[in-house]
Amino acid sequence: MISTAPLTAAKDLGTVAEKVRAFVTIAKAKAADGLTVSEFAELVTALLRVVVAAVDSLPDTNEEKKAWCLDAVAMLFDAVADKCVPTLAWPIWLVVRGSVRSLVLMAAAGAIESILPLVRMSAQ
Task: Give the contacts of 60 (CB within 8 A, at least 6 positions apart).
Answer: 68
For residue 30, CA distances in Å to 3, 51, 54, 78, 118 come to 9, 20, 23, 15, 26
Q: What is the pLDDT of residue 83?
A: 93
Q: What is the pLDDT of residue 57?
A: 76
Note the helical H segments in 12-89. Answer: 16-30, 37-56, 62-80
Least confident of 53-62, 81-90, 98-107: 53-62
pTM of the model: 0.86
Q: Which residue has the higher pLDDT, 5 or 93?
A: 93
* pLDDT tens sequence across 3-61: 676 667 777 767 888 888 888 999 999 898 899 999 999 999 999 988 888 887 777 77
Q: Is 13 exposed, middle or buried (0-12, 13-18, 19+ CB in 10 A)?
A: middle
The arithmetic mean of pLDDT across residues 108-124, rounded, is 78
Q: What is the pLDDT of residue 2?
A: 66
Closest CA to 78 of 116, 21, 33: 21
- Average pLDDT value for the chain: 86
Cα Rg of the chain, angstroms: 14
Residue pair 56/116 in contact (Cβ under 8 Å)? The answer is: yes
Q: How far is the C-alpha of 120 from the C-alpha of 124, rounded, in Å?
A: 7
